[in-house]
Chain A
Amino acid sequence: MSIIRYEQIQGKSLGFYALVAGLGAFILAALGAVYFMEHNGHHVTGMSNRIVWGLPHVFALFLIVAASGALNIASIASVFNKKVYKPLSRLSGLVALALLAGGLMVLVLDLGRPDRLIIAMTEYNFNSIFAWNIILYNGFFVIVGVYLWMMFERRMNKYSHTVGIAAFTWRLILTTGTGSIFGFLVARQAYDAVIMAPMFVIMSFAFGLAFFILVLMASYKWTARPLGDAIVNRLSNLLGVFVAAVMYFVSVYHLGNLYLAENSGVESFILVDGGIYTKLFWYGQIILGGLVPLALLYSPATKGNRTMLGLASVLIILGGIVQLYIIIVGGQAYPMELFPGKEILEGYGGIAAYTPTLPELMLGLGGIAVALIAIAYLIKFLPFLPESLADDVTDPHHKKL
Chain B
Amino acid sequence: MKALNRREFIKTTTTTTAGVAIIASGITLTTYAAKPQESNPVTNEKRWGMLIDTNKLTETDIDDMIDACQEEQGWGSEILSTGDQKSGWIKKIKVKDTATDRISNLALMCQHCEEPPCVDVCPTNASMKREDGIVLVDKHLCIGCRYCMMACPYDARSFVHEELTNQKEHMPRGKGTVESCTMCVHKVDKGEQPACVEAVDSDAVIFGDLYDSNSKINQTLKKIQSTQIRADLNLNTAVRYSGI
Contacts and interface: CB of A to CB of B under 8 A. Distances in A.
Interface of A: 38, 40-43, 47-53, 111-114, 116-117, 119-120, 123-125, 127-131, 134, 181, 185-188, 332, 336-348, 352-353
A341 B97 CA distance: 7
Contact of B144 (A112, A336, A345): A112
5 contacts: A111-B145, A120-B124, A134-B123, A186-B233, A344-B94
Interface string B128-164: 0000000000000111111101111111011111110
B117 A43 contact: no
B231 to A, nearest CB: 10
Interface string B78-95: 101111111110011111
Interface in B158-189: 158-163, 174-178
Interface residues of B, number: 61
Contact of B82 (A43, A186, A339): A43
Contact of A128 (B81, B88, B95, B123): B123
A43 B80 contact: yes
B97 A342 contact: yes
Contacts, number: 177
Nearest to B124: A123
A346 B94 CA distance: 5
Contact of B91 (A129, A185, A337, A348): A348
A37 to B, nearest CB: 10
B190 to A, nearest CB: 29
Interface string B59-98: 0000000000000000000101111111110011111111
Contacts of B230: 187, 337-338, 340
A186 B153 contact: yes
Contact of B120 (A51, A112, A114, A127): A127
Given A52-B159, A119-B124, A336 B153 contact: yes
Contacts of A129: 121
A340 B231 CA distance: 10
Given A41-B161, A52-B149, A345 B103 contact: yes
A327 to B, nearest CB: 12
Contacts of A188: 150
B229 interface: yes
Nearest to B232: A340
B85 A43 contact: yes
Contact of A352 (B84, B141, B158): B84
Contacts of B98: 341-343
| Chain B CB within 10 Å, residue with most, of A38, A48, A124, A332 | A48
Majority secondary structure, A binding face: loop
Interface of B: 78, 80-88, 91-99, 103, 108, 117, 119-126, 141-147, 149-155, 157-163, 174-178, 229-230, 232-233, 244
Contacts of A341: 97-99
A38 B159 CA distance: 13
B144 A111 contact: yes
B154 A338 contact: yes
Contact of A49 (B84, B103, B163, B176): B84
A123 B163 CA distance: 26
Contacts of B120: 127-128
B34 to A, nearest CB: 23
B66 to A, nearest CB: 11
A273 B149 CA distance: 26
Nearest to A121: B124
A53 B121 CA distance: 15
Given A48-B84, A339-B244, 16 more contacts: A41-B160, A41-B176, A43-B78, A43-B81, A49-B157, A52-B159, A112-B175, A112-B178, A113-B142, A187-B153, A338-B154, A342-B244, A343-B98, A346-B92, A348-B93, A353-B84
A123 B138 CA distance: 12
Contact of A187 (B117, B160, B177): B117
Contacts of A112: 142-146, 159-160, 175-178
Given A41-B161, A113-B177, A343-B98, A338 B144 contact: no
A261 B241 CA distance: 26
Given A48-B84, A53-B150, A120-B124, A345 B96 contact: yes
